[in-house]
Amino acid sequence: MSLQSPSSDDAYLREFGVEPRLKRVLGFFTGSLFAIAFQGPTTGALLITGATLAFGGPAFIWAIPLVFLFQFIVALNWAELSSHYPLTGGIYQWAKYLGGEALGWFTGLFYLVAIILVMPAVGLVVSIVLSGLFPSAIKFTTTTQVVISLLAIVVTAIIISTSVRLVALINSVGVVLELAVLVVVAFLLLFHTHQSISVLGSTGGTAAHSSYLWPFLVVVALVLTQIVGFETAGAFAEETRHSRIRPSQAILAGCAGTALVLFIFDFCLLLALPNVGNAMKEGEELIPGVLTEAFGSAGQKIFLAGALIAVMSTAIATLAAIVRTMYGMARDGQLPGSAALLRLSPRTNEPVTIIVVAAILSMVPLLVVKKIPVIIAAITALILVPYLLVLGALLLRRLRGWPARESLFRLGRWGLPLTVVGIVWVVLVLLDALWPRAATNPHLGPFPIIEEFGVALLVLGGLWWYGARRRRPAAPLDPESGAPAPSSAA
């Protein structure tokens, strides 16, 4: 099917009662790179690979294709929803039009908090990289992590305050460099192998006293943190040309690209391990240690220099996604001070107020919780809650005949079974993430951290929603039926 013209992007947007205000400068390539940057292959590798090896042995690598398969099924549903609802805010908008304003609010709230928590995690990786580049000047301590995280947030906010065109350019260059570095390093590691390919079936003794199922479940929960967030490509729909198809394609490319690069890198890394037993004890020092052994300290520093650029791309994509989600919610009057948040800079056409607020909110976790790994544990589960809410609403709408009209990306008769499979998958991995364990759901207080976050968000979100219920704006029109979107009472 031919793509719609840029002018029809705005015409379709007006069917939702939304007047175009943002500049359409993004395409498939830049949208895909935003999705990959948000998932952060380098960030995930430095934070997660050591833990997955420790809990599952080298056989952890087979969790990557498993997680990718089911996440790609979820991505197919997101791609169809993005084609029907190409609005700023992405998953929040999909929830609102599928299930009503209340569902949209709670989906947006959980999603917003989850991606805000990504920023301190990114700051942690920046501090790891800097301490590796300048070991004598920067010590890897809790204080250092917090300070560097705060500085990284400030720098990122300044960058995305410029213009979406410049931000997309900086992000694209950073992600292309990131992918090139990961693939080239993986290729070079093949010339420094110490293990045969049979090592990929080794559990490293993690299943010595019981079934491998339990350590593998931990591994799945950890790998999932690396292949989640590809739907952020849909959050930039109003800034994308051919918005009813390009964001959909970018969602799928972001999911597949991240998983492929992660598998290639981890595959070569495992073959290059000098000693599997020792490597399983190294944690966050795993990758720097293997690179030093293979290429020397100079090679390690070259990789870390590339990693610094890659991690900053993740920071840019993450804060930009936070801003777009907040903008979409503020436009519907869902956030306190929505009118002030919607003001665009006359020079850059960027929502500067939202950028400032988003940066401040990203700093709050650092002031409340000093142990950044504890924050990381809550991210994936908080994203899975919106996944489940939207997929559940989508299933109900499909059973009632949705979609009522064609879209440029459609699943057709495969839509219903793929939605059911997606729901089953999300329920299983959400239960896996919620299982109380030090690796993925540690205790911050009397209860596991994910449960504490979830209950707090439900209580605070409920108080705000019902307290502001009478002042909320009228429901937007649903172009599917030409009638108001389902009300919160429904």
Whole-number pLDDT of residue 296: 87
Whole-number pLDDT of residue 4: 53
Q: At what angle do helices 63-84 and 246-271 cross, to 10 degrees?
A: 170
CA dihedral angle for residue 322, residue 325, residue 326, residue 329, rounded to 10 degrees: -170
Question: Which three-class secondary structure string do you get for the chain?
Answer: CCCCCHHHHHHHHHCCCCCCCCCCCECHHHHHHHHHHHHCHHHHHHHHHHHHHHHHCHHHHHHHHHHHHHHHHHHHHHHHHHHHCCCCCCHHHHHHHHHCHHHHHHHHHHHHHHHHHHHHHHHHHHHHHHHHHCCCCCCCCHHHHHHHHHHHHHHHHHHHCCCHHHHHHHHHHHHHHHHHHHHHHHHHHHHHCCCCHHHHHCCCCCCCCCCCHHHHHHHHHHHHCCCCCHHHHHHHHHHECCCCCHHHHHHHHHHHHHHHHHHHHHHHHHHCCCCHHHHCCCHHHHHHHHHHHHHHHHHHHHHHHHHHHHHHHHHHHHHHHHHHHHHHHHHCCCCCCHHHHCCCCCCCCCCHHHHHHHHHHHHHHHHHCCCHHHHHHHHHHHHHHHHHHHHHHHHHHHHCCCCCCCCCCCCHHHHHHHHHHHHHHHHHHHHHHHCCECCCECECCCCEHHHHHHHHHHHHHHHHHHHCHHHCCCCCEECCCCEECCCCCC
Whole-number pLDDT of residue 470: 53
Cα(56)–Cα(420) distance, integer angstroms: 29
Whole-number pLDDT of residue 489: 34
Whole-number pLDDT of residue 479: 67
Q: Are 230 and 251 in contact (CB under 8 A)?
A: yes
Give the contacts of 198 (CB within 8 A, at least 6 positions apart): none
Whole-number pLDDT of residue 2: 44
Question: Residue 227 falls within a domain, yes or no?
Answer: yes
Question: Residue 20 falls within a domain, yes or no?
Answer: no
Whole-number pLDDT of residue 371: 59
Whole-number pLDDT of residue 240: 92
Which tokens is 328 given? 């979409």
Whole-number pLDDT of residue 266: 95
Residue range of the domain that includes 396: 40-484
Question: Residue 2 falls within a domain, yes or no?
Answer: no
Which tokens is 466 given? 């019902």
Question: Residue 25 falls within a domain, yes or no?
Answer: no
Cα(258)–Cα(248) distance, integer angstroms: 16
Which regions in the chain score pLDDT beneath 70? 1-7, 140, 208-209, 368-377, 439, 444, 469-490
Question: Residue 29 falls within a domain, yes or no?
Answer: no
Residue found by looking up tokens 């939702």 in the block: 16
Question: Residue 22 falls within a domain, yes or no?
Answer: no
Q: Report the DSSP beta bridge partners of residue 112.
A: none
CATH classification at residue 56: 1.20.1740.10
Q: Are 194 and 7 in contact (CB under 8 A)?
A: no
Cα(353)–Cα(149) distance, integer angstroms: 21
pTM for the whole thing? 0.91
Question: Residue 318 falls within a domain, yes or no?
Answer: yes
Q: Can you say how many angstroms the Cα of residue 228 is from the centroid of all Cα atoms in its chain?
A: 5
Please report, in angstroms and rounded to a whole number, the separation of the first and last CA atoms in the chain.
Answer: 35
Q: What are the φ/ψ torsions at residue 237 (nearest 5 degrees)? A: -60, -40
Question: Residue 28 falls within a domain, yes or no?
Answer: no
- What is the Rg, in whole angstroms, of the alpha carbon atoms belonging to the chain? 22
Whole-number pLDDT of residue 487: 45
Q: How many domains does the chain contain in total? A: 1
Closest CA to 233 of 467, 34, 16, 460: 34
Which tokens is 227 given? 């292949």
